[in-house]
Amino acid sequence: MKVLPLFDLAIIVLYLLGMILVGFYFSRKNNNSDSYSKASGLIPGWAIGMSIYATFLSSNTFLGVPGKAFGGNWNAFVFSLSMPLAAWVATKYFVPFYRETGQISAYTHLEKRFGAWARTYAVVCFLLTQLARMGSVFFGIALSLQALTGYSMQTIMIVMGISIIIYTVMGGIKAVIWTEVVQGVIKTLGAVLIIYLIVSHMDGGIQRIVSIGKIAGKFSLGSFSANFTQSTFWVVLLYGFFINLNNFGMDQNYIQRYHTAKSAKAAAKSVWLCVYIYVPASFLFFIIGACLFAYYNVHPELLEGIRHQAAVERLPLNATADQINALAAKLQPADYGDKVMPHFMVTSIPTGLVGLIVSAILSAAMSTISSGMNSSATVFTVDIYKRYIKPGINERQTLNTLHIATVIFGLLGMGTGIAMIGVKSILDIWWALSGIFAAGMLGLFLLGIISKQTQNQEALIASIIGLLVILWMTFPGLIPEEYKFLRNTLHTNMIIVVGTLAIFLVGILLTKLKAAPTDAAQHEIQEIH
């Protein structure tokens, strides 16, 4: 741990001030809720695509992916490989659908399709997903900056959170999108710079990195066996497809951006631009993880500090030095992977460049958090406040509600991040929580879009059954030991896959069963005539 040089701190402070000034700049043009939430539909498609890319490339990617690759292999990259198929489905069916409805909320149509319960259920799932996302991103910021500054993670989250809240509240969706365009460029250049710095520190350069990585199996995409109890290639592919389908088709963060585009065609192009940039960009972060593994494989003595820190975090406060040292010696790379890149920044990157890279990490975090705050506030205002609390509010009151809700969700995101302190892997906790909350939304949405005959009753029963399946998969420990054979043994990433299919297939089955007697009766009438 060391204190950042004044020059690096100045770069970070200037970056934060720049983001806040952007918020104030766009605040002059946010005179109504349409401008605040949809930018009046005047944003070019390429800017929206960069914005979606920046939202995808959060600090979970910036810190979690290198940590995951350092502690394991490139299995998680399969998630990125699933994006093109999800994007094809989204641009062919979902984007035109939302543009035609004209509804700013992604969930309004669920009430028209199945009733108010469906809309509320999807909104609750979305808001919980956003809290999990923002919390994990806040945690990622604090994890890196704590190693650089020595300040507590709670303090870092509060300071960063206040900065993000100011520019998001002031600037609305315009500020979010245009700052994300800049942030997308910054964080990509930051990844390239980190790779260059690691390789330049490595004796033997790229060839030695590749050699060490091959021996350790770092470049593997995972087992191709049909084993769904472990994180195999197929498990991550299925998980990635369903999560990305949910992102492009049900997540308010992205649906809201479709409405900021000038046309449906421009909105669809923005999705593909995101995919074209994100897949190779995410690959860079897996390269960083492999490079860090090779570097510290050559210099293992440089990891003693973070192994010791990881051991301290896992033991009670009254643990002795011998207990800490004993545990530190047993820890595996996967146990401290998220700490490796901040550690490299602290010990190996020269003054000035550290400030630039920290700004890149901040940009990765700020784009995701600001987007989550804005979309959560929009959903709350449209689907909860105006629907149930005050349906007849005027334009000024709507804008005020959006501002207040943005602040509240920013504070809740910070609180969730503080509660996550001590988790083993940022990426693991985010993947688990997002899969749990997203499964219910996606299954119900697909049922409403694909099965035109499914009505309120069948959808409600299917959702209840699907929710029970999700709970069964999520909390296997609640089943008593004598019935442990009933416990779920599938990998956590399969929750969204099984949960989504459970709601969709049960809904289809119930619809068929309900239609069967009617079809039989009509057939008898025809025979009589």
Q: Give CA–CA dist 217/239, Å, rounded.
A: 23
Residue 271 has pLDDT above 90, yes or no: yes
Domain spans of the chain?
6-528
Q: Give CA–CA dist 61/290, Å, rounded.
A: 15
Architecture of domain 6-528 in CATH?
Answer: Up-down Bundle (1.20)
pLDDT at residue 60 in the model: 66
Helix (H, G, I), strand (E, B) or coil at 261: strand
Measured at the alpha carbon of residue 273, what is the angle toward residues 272 and 276, in degrees to the nearest 5?
85
Residue 184 has pLDDT above 90, yes or no: no
* Mean pLDDT of the 320-336 span: 85
What is the per-residue pLDDT across 133-182, written as a single tens digit (0 to 9) for each?
A: 888 788 877 877 776 777 788 888 888 888 888 888 887 888 788 888 88
Per DSSP, 407 falls in state H
- The Cα-based distances of 333 to 246, 296, 298, 356 in angstroms read 32, 10, 14, 27
Please give the residue that has the higher pLDDT: either 5 or 482. Answer: 482
pLDDT at residue 506 in the model: 95
Q: Give CA–CA dist 87/94, Å, rounded.
A: 10
Half-sphere exposure of 253 (CA within 13 A, CB side): 29
Residue 290 has pLDDT above 90, yes or no: yes
Q: Give CA–CA dist 462/468, Å, rounded.
A: 10
Region of residue 475 (left: phi > 0; alpha: psi -120 to 50; beta: else): beta
Measured at the alpha carbon of residue 375, what is the angle toward residues 269 and 429, in degrees to the nearest 5?
95
pLDDT at residue 89 in the model: 92
pLDDT at residue 103 in the model: 80
Please give the residue that has the higher pLDDT: either 351 or 257. Answer: 257
* Mean pLDDT of the 89-107 span: 86
Residue 403 has pLDDT above 70, yes or no: yes
pLDDT at residue 88 in the model: 95
Token look-up 């799932």 returns: 125
* Mean pLDDT of the 34-63 span: 80
